Amino acid sequence: MKLERTADGSYTLYVPELDEHYHSVKGALTESQHIFINMGLKYSSVTEPHILEIGLGTGLNAFLTLLSAEESQRKVHYTAIERYPLTEEPLRLLDYPHLIGRQHEKEYYAIHRTPWEMENRLSPWFTLHKIEGDFTQLFQSTDDSYVTNSRYDIIYFDAFAPEKQPEMWKQSLFDALYKVLNKEGILTTYCAKGIVRRMLQAAGFTVERLPGPPGGKREILRATKKAF
């Protein structure tokens, strides 16, 4: 795993085995803020949203969500599913608190240090429940109790690209994600490929193509579960 500086001055990690980066090389911080916070969290009108992130990764999306919750004093319940948790060494090299919010350094590292499989209160406005496991197995199991019993208002779909992890981008998985969303719930993702848009539509979502982050991807997708 290799540390790389991105165009906005923030850093990301490169995974040689997948030939893939955790974030856009055109701006890790800019990408996460635009796609998941501005187009996802801030777009939602839910007073106390429950968020599901597919892929905790470096914790950048969770950290930005925590900062937004603190700033707006809006309570957020955050669940993240991660199959391959990162160790603290590369996280310290990324040094996101230095770039974003040094006064919240303790909370950033708490995102990774808190116990798995239980809800942890990291601030008065942010609780975190980490699940260490395979998203594809959890959502495609013959025992669909997780899908049946879970409800979210916002989904951050931040898996590695379809050509790198095709098993994460299947119709059955988008169907399951549609089921766990509350009415008017939204899903945001950086991937605007036609095949992804069509799978989201087939699952029942109303899908928008939106402008991508400044200097980054041309388009992103936001999918909404409309109340009928």
Q: How many CB atoms lie within 10 A of CB 56?
A: 26
Would you write out the chain's pLDDT as a tens digit for each of its 228 residues? 888 999 989 989 998 888 999 998 888 999 999 999 999 999 999 999 999 999 999 999 999 999 999 999 999 999 999 999 999 999 999 989 988 867 889 999 999 999 999 999 999 999 999 999 999 998 875 556 667 667 999 999 999 999 999 999 999 999 999 999 999 999 999 999 999 999 999 999 999 999 999 888 899 999 999 976
How confident is the model at residue 141, as a pLDDT?
Answer: 59
**Per-residue pLDDT at 1:** 82
Q: Is the pTM of this model over 0.85?
A: yes
CB 205 within 8 A of CB 224: yes
Residue 173 token pair: 């998985």
Angle at 151 between CA 145 and CA 155, to 5 degrees: 115
Query: Alpha helix locations (H) across 57-192?
Result: 60-72, 88-94, 96-100, 105-113, 135-140, 145-149, 171-180
Please report the pLDDT score of residue 98 as a whole number.
86
Burial of 181 (0-12, 13-18, 19+ CB in 10 A): buried
Give residues with Cβ within 8 angstroms of 143, minimum separation 6. none
Are 155 and 78 contacting, i.e. CB atoms less than 8 angstroms apart? no
Measure the CA–CA gap between 177 and 182, rounded to whole angstroms: 10
Give the pLDDT score at 194: 97
Strands 20-21 and 11-15: antiparallel
